[in-house]
Chains A and B, each alone.
Chain A
Amino acid sequence: MEDRNVGATVSLPARVLWRLPLPYALSRQVGRKLFLFLLTVQGLGAFALITIGVMVTKGRASRRVIWPLVFHEVSRAGLRLLPMFLFIAAALGLLVIGQSVSWLTRVGAINYLGTIMVIVVVRELGPLVTALLVLARIGTANVVELGTSRAMGEVEALEALGIDPVHYLVVPRVIGLALGVFSLTVYLILGALISGYLWAFIQDVALRPADYLRQLAGALRGLDFALLALKTLAFGFIIAVVTCYHGLAQPLRLEEVPHATVRAVAQSVIGCVLVDALFIIIYLSS
């Protein structure tokens, strides 16, 4: 059936090319990539489960060492990024409002401004932009730090001292990144909603703050808050696990650290987008 359709719509040379067998080298390359992909998924899954296991079994162990590390990571992946996120929030508000106000005014649908802000910023752009920025600023640093530590033999030193490297190096990063992405998303959304109204005000849109707030409240559902929290925590967890896995879970030489960083960024983005797609399905089916 598929061949007939192709034959009916495609020119003769293209039809000949289509019927050619897949080159051996290409099929081998595709197979190799697929095999490596499955191995990576297996490795990441195992690493995530080990990390969760350590978080559960060693929740209160060595807390005078681990908790200061957690606070440090929360500060690094959250507090210190706040100025940048306030700037991004202002830009995001301008981006969404600037594009939508003129069109909504034309069709007389300015009452949907708050709804658009909720759909675009609260449900989608806010969490995803936050995750990507945290990945760029902190996730890449994680791979470089841990990869260098691994290459310099620091992981073996921890093992020799009876210190679990996952407990000491990974758990604080997972908690820090999950809380950091969650907090920054909240700040980014609040900043974008406020700046959005300010940009609308500058463009002389006849919308009172109370009406804007009413629109926002009307568009928000209880599920939004729960899913926003879950989604952002999941993004932080994915970024932490993927970057720590590539920095730590396999023997590295110093010259391999840049490649590990590139792989970690690509896989983190894919992981976050897949989780985002899952949450869209939940939104649509609820």
Chain B
Amino acid sequence: MPQVTVTVNGQTHSVDVEARTLLVELLREKLRLTGTHVGCDTSQCGACVVHMDGESVKSCTLLAVQAEGAQITTIEGLAAADGTLHPMQEAFREYHALQCGFCTPGMVMSAIDLVNKNPEGLTEHQIREGLDGNICRCTGYHNIVKAVSAAAEVMHGRSAELTPAA
């Protein structure tokens, strides 16, 4: 059985897995990090999005062995050790950017990748396009867009507080 070594939220794990084990199965079932969700299991919904070496990926469409040596960040790894939320998490709370919350972990992880890759700022259209790979079945997109817009300003140091960009 292959062994895979990954660093998840700063902690390195070496785990025996079957070659067919998905990254999301490694995270949820072996490492018990159940914040990463499985919605569709067909690469459509984005509930399983995590960061691999800083880029958002769908962990249901990635073999655990393909992540060998990678740095993985899950929703559990975003908040500071003292519990201070990441600005994106804080914005989702502040703008009520969730209804049932199932899609939220993936939505937050995708949104952070989107903001990181667009330091010059994001229009509403760019945010909607950029979150194309994440589906909110409650259809709560409106507040999600507001939250991402506000978090982007904080993450890039243009605003100390969460206010929607003009």
A and B held together in a complex: no
A interface with B by C-beta (< 8 Å): none
Measuring CB to CB, which residues of chain B are less than 8 angstroms from any residue of chain A?
none
